[in-house]
A = this chain, B = another copy of it.
Amino acid sequence: LRNGFPEVIYCEGKSLAEIEGIVKEMLKHENNILASRAEKEVYQRIKEIAPEAVYHERPKMIFIEKQKLKKTKSKILVVSGGTSDIPVAEEAVVTAEALGNSVERLYDVGVAGIHRLLGNLDKLNDAEVIITVAGMEGALASVVGGLVDKPVIAVPTSVGYGANFGGVSALLTMLNSCASGIGVVNIDNGFGAAYLASTINLQIEKARKEG
Chain A interfacial positions (CB closer than 8 Å to B): 2, 8, 12-14, 18, 74, 81-84, 110-114, 118, 128-129, 136-139, 142-143, 145-147, 149-153, 156, 158-189, 191-192, 195-196, 198-200, 203-205, 207-208, 210-211
Most buried by B among A2, A13, A137, A179: A137
A112-B145, A153-B183, A161-B186 given. 5 additional CB < 8 A pairs?
A114-B147, A151-B196, A164-B186, A169-B175, A183-B185
A-B contact pairs, 23 of them (CB 8 A): A74-B203, A82-B178, A111-B142, A112-B146, A112-B178, A114-B143, A136-B177, A137-B142, A151-B203, A152-B196, A162-B167, A162-B171, A162-B188, A162-B189, A163-B171, A164-B176, A164-B186, A165-B172, A173-B173, A175-B186, A182-B185, A204-B207, A208-B211
Given A173-B173, A186-B176, A204-B203, CB of A146 within 8 Å of CB of B111: yes
A143 touches B111 (CB 8 A): yes
A187 touches B207 (CB 8 A): no
| Residue in B162, B180, B188 whose CB lies within 8 Å of A195 | B180
B158 touches A162 (CB 8 A): yes
| Residue in B165, B181, B185 whose CB lies within 8 Å of A196 | B181
| Cα(A207)–Cα(B204), bound, Å | 6
